[in-house]
A and B are shown apart, each in its own frame.
Chain A
């Protein structure tokens, strides 16, 4: 177990290093930020001064090492645009994205898993078919489109929910969030549902497929043959085994929800990271782009790690494979 954690940590560091190199070189290929930041009438001297000020006159490897050294110390550079430390800007935007992503995630999981389980147990029932039809719609409608439909329906035609922004914030336990206030919830619920819809639909289908697959297996028939009560077979045998594939898919979805809310954040003018990333790319704010993408990578690495731990907790076979590999 310990060596597994250590191994994963080393792997993660290597992945992040490689990724940072790719990113660092990659953003340089998109274009030269000096052209965007400096007005076209500026003198050649101003131009050179700007290049020196941004540190762009040094060779690429030196720029990278400087970046890396600073990054390890928690200094991710200064935004070309905002002229502020990147980390500060990220931390300012992060809570909005996290709360949107987490609410969407809870919505997606708490609806899709029971619904998918039911549809898998009773695929021919009207409700089972209805769930499948819903998920098909959820997958087919583009996110920006259903987002706008929701705004039209619940923001304009039937004006029960506010549109745009996070609403009233409050701070408890050192966390500032809109989730502490009712007004905040009324702001977050619609974008969260919009963001969750696609993931919810996918998870429903995965849950249904896993359930149907497991129901066919002998150990489920054997559990019934033992006289075990229906509810216990469904929860203790069917759902428990379905969790093995579900944990993987759910983990990926969580990462997506927390990192790729770009479209939903744009449609609902949600002041989160997604909009920041798009803006940063538009103006080639290199430190901003690198920091955000690294954050995304770290997020996925952390989630993957969590998924592996959960797998070990659920499935004893995973543990014995690891044990065998270690000995």
Chain B
């Protein structure tokens, strides 16, 4: 695999609310290479979306990137001001959101929402924009793109709208796309089609992708590597084979067990007994300790990373043996 062009190091993103500090993302580090899909998986509230929004530079008050570094092609993003970051957004890093019914402005034609994306970064005449939009829509498998371009979002199905959103994300040829549960709201066949289209685009264009999801079974088909998050922290990271076939962390094992069938994508995760600890009152130790069957006293102490292979890392003092 080629060298990573995108790196996140020791990222901390916290929300300073009146009730206390919510440490949504704690010491997250990972990288992405060209043509690679990194999957991020974890229960609801584990900090996946906050990680994505941190990369976009779109953390709103009262939240803030407290420390850490995010770098794209060697450029440090956390130091940029609004205008400098704006030039990256949509241009070098694009994002796709979970709910296609909510991602497009209901009052604007698809065309205007696409033109706006190009116009934010390039000075292009209208007919050139038009051509580019048609190409982008065609690339994600949208039939009769001319018609779609004139449509309003409510005139299209959810699957079609998500394709439009993905087309917009691809429009300026970004280096990295962050997809935050892009197919969760869609039915299974549409999901499979869209995943196929995205994989093709990644391979053809050699772009990197971060795919955020609840659903390990989707990742097993799509991702090259998988990162497991829990309560804002990394639990385990490795290649898809290392995680799906040889997970060592008790939490990853629980996640895998709760997938009803590895062959049925799209189904929601079954609950692991117990609740995630409050992100405001986290101790020093492993956040999963309160729900873990293998817990002992030393789990209350800070847990160092253990490197199992070049690609496989784990934060656990009592991992499963292979």
Residues of A within 8 A of B (CB): 124, 217-219, 221-230, 232, 236-237, 240-241, 244, 314-317, 320
Contact = CB atoms under 8 A, between A and B. Distances in A.
A219 B82 contact: no
A227 B117 contact: yes
A199 to B, nearest CB: 25
A228 B122 CA distance: 11
Give the contact-size bracket for chain B. 20 to 34
Contacts of B56: 224-225
Interface string B73-103: 0000000001000111111001101110011
A230 B81 CA distance: 13
B306 interface: no
Nearest to A123: B61
Contacts of A315: 106-107
Given A218-B99, A316-B154, A224 B107 contact: no
Interface of B: 53, 56, 58, 61-62, 82, 86-91, 94-95, 97-99, 102-108, 116-117, 120-121, 152, 154-155, 165, 168
Q: Which of B86, B95, B107, B168 has the most CB of A within 10 A?
A: B107
Contact of B154 (A219, A226, A244, A317): A317
Contacts of A241: 105-107
B95 A222 contact: yes
Contact of A225 (B95, B98, B99, B106): B95
A295 to B, nearest CB: 35
Given A225-B90, A228-B116, A240-B105, 5 more contacts: A218-B102, A224-B89, A227-B117, A237-B108, A317-B152
Contact of B120 (A217, A226, A240, A316): A226
Contact of A222 (B82, B88, B103, B120): B103
Nearest to B93: A225
Contacts of A320: 152, 154-155
B110 to A, nearest CB: 11
B151 to A, nearest CB: 9
B219 to A, nearest CB: 22
B58 A228 contact: no
A218 B95 CA distance: 11
Contacts of A223: 105, 116
Nearest to A243: B107
A234 to B, nearest CB: 13
